[in-house]
Amino acid sequence: MINANKKIQKLIKHKIVDIVHESATSISQETYLVGGAVRDHLIDRKRKNRDLDFVTLGCEIKLANEIRNKINKNLKISRFKNFGTAHINFNEINIEIVKARKESYHLSSRNPDVEPGTLLDDLKRRDFTINAIAVSLNNENFGELIDPLGGLNDLKNKIIITPRDPEITISDDPLRILRGVRFCAELNFEINNSLLNAMKKNCDRIKIISKERIVDEINKIIMTDKPSKGFKLLDKIGLIQILIPPLNKLKGIEEKEGITHKDNFYHTLQVVDNISQVTNKIWLRWSALLHDIGKPNSKRFDKKIGWTFHGHEYIGSKMIFEIFKKLKMPLNSSLKYVQKIVLLSSRPIILSNNIVTDSAVRRLIYDAGEEIEDLLMLCEADITTKNKKRRDKYLNNFKIVRQKIKMVEDRDEIRNFQPPISGKFIMSIFNLQPSKEVGILKEKIKDAILDGKIPNEYNSAFELLLKEGTKMGLKPKINEEKV
Ligand code: ATP
Ligand code: MG
């Protein structure tokens, strides 16, 4: 890292670093910049609004007060007294100040007992050497890099390694397994072998980590440029089986009568990589990750046609709730979105393989609604064949589906389709309570519109309603006002 000092010069000119320097000087408290900001600057990794981590030899609150007063007296300081930490959030930048410390751990928790320590103690208690490089903010050696644990060299060699014994480091705080995998995936680094072994050995200890923290790291892995790298590592360590067991079941290839099916685990990871090239929507990436999880439970072998996975989208979409619940992920609109995308994930493929009728296209637009574009992106990402001819054929098929969708949409305005007759109206016309009949009649009107049998407007729908209601033995009240 020839230009290390030059690269750091840029960082120490940062407005907030300057303020921290001034503040530390005014209270004569030895202070250093550490962590991700130093690491990322050294490897030219650009990030917007990144957080800044400082370590100080003295009172973290005193320094935080000083900094706050220089930035804006009204800013809030959050304190975690037990860990000697103070946070200030300013303009979306997280400023974290920790008192230099030594740590000792108990088996049941990742929260250590802490006692004040030297700068070296503090660097040694950190997770990885690449995160344990300090930059002095003290007048006598301002801007100097302090790297007693060889972090610079590991950055150069793109290697993740712990300052202390990997076994102890990982067992003390198993969240470090996920952080290590995440840094590998984000930075395209490798994990040192003995660290990888320690991770494998301790993977069960992930249970002492809160689900929120785990999901936080999984989400960061899923948001990298090539998420397969992180997921393959998680798999190697044994964490896919523990955290998302249905994904683990996708692994493997079965053969019967000389016919094999693809390994759906590696296929899935390829799909996630593909979709990540075209979208940063986290829930679309999650949908790609889970789009095939129904396959193991729907797998059959048919002597004539080989392996089939009929209904895997439906089975898969039903499994997503449990996965989210187990990981304590939000059970809200994000869950619904992923369920919907997975449920519909084969529909455009069916369209692309058949002669496309307007009716089928209308139904897809109606069912997918606002998600139609995301769904098509997933389908295109789902093409993982290495055969170029076949790949081009599939892509071309989707091009045709897209054109057809556009044509039908422009003509019928179906995406935000609302049937022109409501359930309430049907009830009042036939003097019905909420019942099965109301649902059947509503469905018939919707189907007739989507199939193009009647136009999407009130008079035709009303006429059909009277006809179908009468067939069902219902008597309409006449002269009813439109509701
Ligand atoms: P990023 O900002 O990209 O997440 P970071 O390295 O800044 O990366 P933070 O979570 O902000 O990560 O932590 C700041 C620093 O604190 C780290 O660089 C590392 O030195 C130390 N650290 C954070 N979490 C741990 C942990 N679980 N065990 C040991 N050290 C940690
Ligand atoms: Mg940080």
Per-domain residue ranges of the chain: 6-154, 158-243, 423-471
pLDDT tens track for 141-178 = 999 999 999 999 999 999 999 999 999 999 999 999 99
pLDDT at residue 446 is higher than 70: yes
Type of residue numbered 85: T
pLDDT band at residue 104 using 50, 70 and 90 as cut-offs: confident
Atom 2 in ligand 1: residue holding the nearest Cα: 36
Query: Could you tell which of 39, 60, 127 is best to mutate to test the pocket of ligand 1, judged by most ligand atoms within 8 Å of the CB?
Result: 127
Pocket test for ligand 1, best of 40, 43, 53 (most atoms within 8 A of CB): 53
pLDDT band at 2 (very low <50, low <70, confident <90, very high): very low
CA-wise closest residue to 312 among 325, 329, 293, 330? 293
238 φ/ψ angles, rounded to the nearest 5 degrees: 105, 10
Q: Which candidate, 315, 303, 309, places its Cα nearest to that of 261?
A: 309
- Inform me whether the pLDDT recorded for 306 exceeds 70: yes
Q: How many CB atoms lie within 10 A of CB 182?
A: 22
Q: Which two structure tokens, joined as six digits, stand for 335?
A: 């869950």
Residue 130 makes CB contacts below 8 A (sequence gap 6+) with 39, 151, 154, 155, 160, 183, 189
Ligand 1 and 175: CB distance under 6 A: yes
Task: Give the β-pairing of 93-99 and 85-90.
Answer: antiparallel
pLDDT at 480: 47
Joined tokens for residue 201 = 């050995």
Q: Note the pTM of the prediction, 2 decimals.
A: 0.90
Q: What superfamily does domain 6-154 belong to in CATH?
A: Beta Polymerase, domain 2 (3.30.460.10)
- Kindly indicate the confidence band of residue 358, based on its pLDDT and cuts at 50, 70 and 90: confident
Closest ligand to Cα 47 = 1
Interatomic CA distance for residues 145 and 19, integer angstroms: 19
Closest residue (by CA) to atom 8 of ligand 1? 36
* Stronger pLDDT, 258 or 202, i.e. the higher one: 202
pLDDT at res. 48: 78
The stretches of 382-477 forming alpha helices (DSSP H) are: 388-412, 423-430, 436-450, 458-471
Closest ligand 1 atom to Cα of 183: 3
Ligand 1 centroid–CA 126 distance in Å is: 7
The CB-based long-range contact list for 467-471 (8 Å cut-off, 24+ gap) reads 468/441, 468/444, 469/426, 469/429, 469/430, 469/441
158-243 CATH pick, 1.20.120.530, 3.30.200.20, 1.10.10.10, 1.10.110.30: 1.10.110.30
8 Å CB contact between 405 and 441: no
- Is the Cβ atom of 382 under 6 angstroms away from ligand 1? no
